[in-house]
Chain A
Amino acid sequence: MNKKRFFTFFLFICLLSALYARKPKAADTGYPKSIVALSPSAAEILFTIGAGDQVSAVSEFTDFPPEAKAKPVVGGFDGKTLSLETIMSFKPDLVYLTERMHNFLIATLESNGIAYYVSKGDSIASVEREILEVGKITGHDKEAKKVVDGMEKKLSKVAEAKKGTGAVKVYWEVWNAPYMSVGPSSFIHDVIKAAGGENIFADLTDAYPMVSEESIIARKPALILIPMSTGMEASAVGLRNGWSDIPAVKNGKVFVVDDNVYTRPGPRIADVVVELSALLTK
């Protein structure tokens, strides 16, 4: 490439950046340099694949990896306190958002010609897909591939180990007053499945249904998982009226797990599956 061409190309890029990319989807005029990540999983993915210095702002509760914590915060990740103005103040060329919580931003982003990426995060497969896509968009496809390969290795090891054994019935308790669990459309359902478990409420449609206490007992879960964020202690579960005959309680298989990591659709989910499968077979 001779100097003239290079210079023209460089000018072209400058002009385009100055005018804002008009295309809504991932820009083809170079990799984004000012990414605003609107969820902790988005930030985690970006940093894991090496795109950390392309990130200009993250959402609240972003805590992994530690470098991500140092970035400026743009607002809460559930969307209720996000303001487009704050997002814009970081002059983003890519907004990395979550379908469920940030859908409402899409129309405005489009009309302002800002590129965005929508994360689905509803299954492990979609997370892997996402990592690869984001890798392509940010110019880190090689690292992204490495990350996904690493995840796949761990996941297949678990799948291999549990071949031939039946699925272990699992109850994931979102809350206890009222009792709320998870349905098949939730991310954690997929994680449980991948680890060799079977969500006892796989027959419900809601993502976070309120469930009958009778059914929890009747479905005899062999493992009960309590998210750490509820503050509940594992020992308290067994003291509940009528719960003492549940297999999980009888065998002491009630565990408190870090839901911050367990429900985050990001690269560490493979480690979660490994840990979970260990709990299942303990």
Chain B
Amino acid sequence: MNETTADFNVSNLNATYNKTQILRNINLSLIPGEFVCLCGPNGAGKSTLLSVMAGVPDAKLKVTGDIRFIRGPRSLSLSKGSKPPQTSRTIDISTIPRRDLARTIAYLQQNEYSEWDFTVHDYILQGRYAYTRYGHYTADDHSIVDGVLADLKLTQFNKRNIHSLSGGEFQKVRLARALAQTPRFLLLDEPASNLDYVYEPHLMQLLRDTVHKKNLGVLAAVHDINLAARFADKILLLPPASAISDGAKKSVLFGSPSDIMNTDNLKYTFGVEFECKEIKSFQSLQ
């Protein structure tokens, strides 16, 4: 991977579903190497935002706005034979073929199960599909899968049947598959939603480490704002579209936790009173 990498940029994004506005005027930029947590009340449109950014919005959603990668086609790994990108320094993601997009963005939906009982290895291998010619997986692909398993400490699960895994184990396997795509950006919708209390901070730490080690840009919707505040480089607060009157206020609040997390902003986003305390050190829960 090149060191000079592109930003994932969203501007003026609006999304409506059956005349109801879900996303209003979203502007944000995701930078490789940053772990960003997306927080907001239920119904604010977090899942919608992630799916739109991933290029897989709901079919009935009407989306306007701009989603693009900025700063250089050289930095994107495009498959052989795909159209040479525009000479300008931005690429609209709607112009990128699926396979190429899958090499750049990995997206995890909130809750997903697998209909068929593959082995863990085969399941993660699916993440390499976008790199294959005619669906044939190479030795390289297999070793990348092994590498990801090792990174996430899942090697012993290699031959296990995914239907035999616990919720938390499967979640990690899903993450492994996303990482197997060797993407630049990860879009995660509540990655800790199925996990025990104990697991959640583990996962968040894991994400944080992976982000920095592999220089990924991660946008993860997280339910627990305390966790978000603890682990994220940046926080994205997303109030519901209905709460924002046109123009008057910001549609997203973006910044580092210390900047963003104050009672005013949180009240604006969530609509309820919060109490903010700063805690210097943490201990893991029993």
Direct interface between A and B, CB < 8 A:
no
